Amino acid sequence: MVIWVTGLSGAGKTTVCENIVRMMKPFVPELVLLDGDVVRDIFNDQLGHKKPDRIRQIKRIQRLAKELDTQGLVVLVAALYADQELLDWNRENFQNYAEIYLDASLELVQNRDPKGLYEKVRVGEMKHVVGIDIPWNAPQNPTLAIKMTDVETPHSVSKRIISAIPCLSTRLASATQDG
């Protein structure tokens, strides 16, 4: 199973996915997280942030996810770039696939700006930012779209995702009944 979580930088992908892992790992020991920033770091950040580099980065994550999926792991992916062709590839190549879209407005993520990314853009220190000078293409047909707001907490978003994914929700329900 591959659960692909996408949204703009600052939408909460990493925070929500890390929360899901904390909540579910005791009940789903085969759950692993592939975070786009971590994968980029593993490869020594050899790629830039222009569109071709972003596509190459997503293809790396896809190949890693596919390999882990074939080994029977539940792969939770937190990835920024959401080109429709790449998401279509996911649907065609992952046997059991769920796509989660954390729908956060540009204004919201700019206000959050946990990495200082949007501030760097504002002062002219950074280019090639999705949603600013690289178009953001929201997923066209996600399994679940969650409208992110200032009142939505990572915990509540995580619970909504867990409830929408049968392999997670059934394991949690079973553990709760047994415990």
pLDDT tens for the chain, 179 residues: list them.
999 999 999 999 999 999 999 999 999 999 999 999 899 888 877 777 788 888 999 999 999 999 999 999 999 999 987 788 999 999 999 989 999 999 999 899 898 888 877 888 788 888 888 888 888 889 999 999 999 986 678 999 999 999 999 999 988 777 777 65
Reduced 3-state DSSP string for 70-84? HCCCEEEEEECCCCH
What's the structural domain count of the chain?
A: 1
Domain enclosing residue 48, as ranges = 2-178
Note the pLDDT of residue 179.
Answer: 56
**Angle, helix 13-24 to helix 154-164, in steps of 10 degrees:** 60
Note the pLDDT of residue 178.
Answer: 63
Q: What is the CATH number of the domain that holds 167?
A: 3.40.50.300
Which candidate, 90, 107, 178, places its Cα nearest to that of 141?
90
State the pTM of this model: 0.91
Q: What is the residue whose two structure tokens read 């178009």?
A: 135
Q: How many helices, marked H, and strands, marked E, lie in the chain?
A: 8, 5
Q: How far apart are CA 17 and CA 21, in angstroms?
A: 6
